[in-house]
Amino acid sequence: MAERILMNEFKTLAQEPWVNIELDNDDIFNWTVGLIVVNPDSLYYGGYFKAAMKFPKNYPYSPPEFRFLHPLYHPNIYPDGKLCISILHSPGEDEMSGELASERWSPAQRVESVLISILSLLDDPEVSSPANVDAGVLLRKEPEKYKAIVRNCVEASKADIPEHFVMPTHQTSVSAVKQPELDDSDFWVESDVDDDVFGGSDSDEALDSDDRDTGSEDEDDHERV
């Protein structure tokens, strides 16, 4: 079952412009991931962050492992590239960390939700319990220096872009989202609507009759005056 689920997820993600995935030695349980930041407002915009994902044999009942293959300066990323992120922690509540079960891994999660959570983490770090203490302190006290280091990481990451891979932009990512196709049945035309529903022609005739009656009364009033 794990192989089938992972293959389906692999095929789905292969259509996404913000991620580039290759299988290590055609092993569906070991992926090399190129995570691409396409949000122009992100400090990590334009980066191609290469990572390894390893899936357990009982996936999706246990979470995958994720590790960036090159240093990425961030409060929640350890020097060895591993992340401190709840979604990759084993299912169930953890009284020690205070993490709720809803924040951690569950069999309902998928690779896409993990990758999206990681992209969100890049721009919204949790500095209260950092994996990289120095990065957490620098972000709080000297944010401009922090940003300069991150920009260097982004530029260095571009060396991992595969030779024939075309980096997406924000525009290509947006255009890749399919819009629903509409046909004539998705629109109603006024002439096709049953007159009875909205008071129809009978109501219009009644209104005209009322207007005529009102007009007659007005004429009588003028004559009496």
Helix and strand numbers (H, E) in the chain are 6, 4
Cβ-contact 132, 121 below 8 angstroms:
no
Q: Is the peptide bond before 60 cis (omega within 30 degrees of 0)?
A: yes
84 an active-site residue?
A: yes
The CA-atom distances, in angstroms, between 93 and each of 34, 101, 109, 115 are: 31, 4, 16, 22
Residue from 21, 33, 38, 84 carrying the catalytic annotation: 84
In 3D, which of 105, 90, 111 has the Cα closest to residue 2? 111
Q: How are beta strands 65-68 and 27-36 bridged, if at all?
A: unpaired
Q: Which residues contact 149 (CB under 8 A, 6 or more apart)?
A: 73, 138
Catalytic residues: 84
